[in-house]
């Protein structure tokens, strides 16, 4: 005996709930950058929260945020240990001895779990520092998507020489 099956589409204004409003679906860039921002909320650095998402073929391969190595005290539990380095142009950069940057953590997580990231793209809440950029070049990242600029002038020459693309994707976070 056949069942009576109602054919209403619960996802359309005709067959759905009263007051249904159609929300715009996130595009891939918005989606991955939003994930990077969410990941950044796990960061333990007291100076800034950065999140990174490694992606290939619209699939998330690995994520990372800035913080201390696993099992070691984080900056939000102790004090930051800052060191200063001077760029050839004379500008001084400050970094924390304890913190691993989000990009490196994402790469480390992929390596730990045996996930190839060759020819992947990365979404980062801030453009990479020169040290992270060198590693991203070496692991085969083709495009770096970032939200907020961070000392882009320091990485311009490496980007030009490597052919890695740097693309700003800004998303409004709720």
| pLDDT digits 0-9 by tens, 82-140 | 777 787 888 887 777 778 999 999 999 999 999 999 999 999 999 999 999 999 999 99
SS3 per residue for 16-27: CCCCCCCCCCCC
Q: Which residue in the list 77, 94, 103, 157 is annotated as catalytic? A: 103
Residue 40: pLDDT over 90: yes
* Angstrom distance (rounded) from CA 35 to CA 51: 8
- Give the pairing of strands 92-96 and 82-86: antiparallel
Residue 81: pLDDT over 80: no
Based on the residue annotation, tell me whether 103 is a catalytic residue of this protein: yes
28-68+100-168 carries CATH number 3.20.20.450: no
Helices (H), 64-168: 102-112, 130-138, 156-162
- Which residues contribute to the annotated binding site for Zn(2+)? 101, 129, 132
This prediction has a pTM of 0.82
For the chain, the C-alpha Rg in angstroms (whole number) is 21
């Amino acid at each position: 005996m056949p069942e009576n099956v109602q054919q209403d589409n619960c996802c359309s204004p005709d067959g759905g709930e009263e007051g249904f409003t159609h929300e715009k679906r996130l595009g891939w860039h918005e989606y991955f950058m939003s994930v990077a921002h969410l990941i950044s909320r796990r960061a333990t650095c007291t100076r800034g929260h950065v999140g990174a998402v490694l992606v290939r073929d619209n699939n998330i391969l690995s994520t990372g945020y800035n913080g201390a190595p696993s099992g070691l005290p984080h900056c939000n539990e102790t004090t930051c240990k800052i060191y200063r380095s001077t760029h050839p142009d004379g500008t001084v950069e400050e970094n924390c001895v304890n913190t691993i940057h989000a990009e490196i953590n994402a790469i480390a997580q992929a390596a730990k779990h045996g996930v190839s990231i060759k020819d992947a793209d990365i979404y980062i809440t801030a453009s990479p520092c020169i040290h992270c950029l060198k590693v991203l070049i070496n692991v085969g990242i083709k495009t770096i998507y970032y939200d907020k600029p961070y000392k882009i002038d320091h990485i311009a020459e490496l980007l030009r020489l490597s052919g890695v693309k740097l693309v700003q994707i800004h998303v409004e976070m709720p």
